[in-house]
Structure 1
């Protein structure tokens, strides 16, 4: 198998097993850089020319360089491994699945750079995970935001405005407020900003990112639990993070000029096979590889 096709197959299998799952264990015995933290959700898997990137919801990126002898093996918990575990370069454990990388010549772990989230580039806003967070200060920062055409979705991740909002909860907060993902911050009134931030604080202080307790995140292609319309997912913003949203009920402050974007995943009949978005992506890629071959 050509290395490019092998990388695509490995990445597709990783998406099936890992996307939207909270990590419970991470091992990389030959890496001394920063490491992904247990408890964070795996948000995206990218297959590049000769490497695979795995991205967590806090912006941590794991890049594994692939060669002919390299592979990412995916096992259900309890399955017998095809290779000796002592030779594993990376291990990622989530509920029901474990992904193991063998024979990678290079491992790199780093933060996906976003200057607005850099603590040196501006005074940090209130931390909404704290019960004593100053909501009015956060509202002031929203109302005084210089780039009035910036989206609310991006502002929620700007630590100069507020801290503590992960990408998972950004999706959940926007859905709960029925805000369109491309709503401009300049269109919100002060009362709407306050309502948004108070809800965000409540959600973050009662955080539970298990899939059974999420209304929108990870539900691409499924029906919205509120209105029954389809849930979509797109890349969004300068950091190119994924954002899940409902086309039916997230209509508040919808921009007059809709952004020109391509859906992140190809949509297929929801009744075909596994309804998990990662499984759909896996089937899409298998079909595309078959067509190429």
Structure 2
């Protein structure tokens, strides 16, 4: 998801050579997603694999697509399961300067959630999220962003104005380096970090979740390390096949990506 979409999901190192592209705004999602060329849509299909990396059948979930407008901002998202019986869709909107203004998500045509973002004087000033019944479930304050309009911090409140959580993010320009989530009393409950190769492709991510053991009443940390290998690239240098591996380098899945471009 792009930009503010992690407001709904997250409670879940070098300057880009793309940055110098003529006519592309520096806050465009093409740059943040490390895409070269005027990409109209990416579609990712995930396949199972054995320990040697041999590709097997299509995973049960999911084939996902992201659409971009002709300025390079993400405009839509679709995820369909293998059987074709479940379809998640999302739409994203931006203002004339490319600032994120909102999103809506549906499942099989039924609204699941939405988010409205307020902008003032070219900066994010607040946001409100709504549930499937279009009832406010959270609102967000203290939103900050870097020069590339990537959100660097926010606080999440319940409708009764009780603080639920806060998050902070560190970027190298457009590229996320790490993030941290804290609960209402400021205790860290999760963290995420990733590293990049010289082409700004993610090569390793580390996710940590801190949970209290119900028996011992002590905190324990669950760490998930994922490594990435880029197997195929298209003529514009965008990856079209990637192998995901565990912490020991054992393949666990292969993602094949189809990319369509705007006609130039």
With the length of structure 1 as denominator, give the TM-score of the two structures: 0.28
Structure showing greater Rg: 1
Q: Which structure dedicates a bigger proportion of its chain to helix?
A: 1
With the length of structure 2 as denominator, give the TM-score of the two structures: 0.30
Q: Which structure dedicates a bigger proportion of its chain to strand?
A: 2
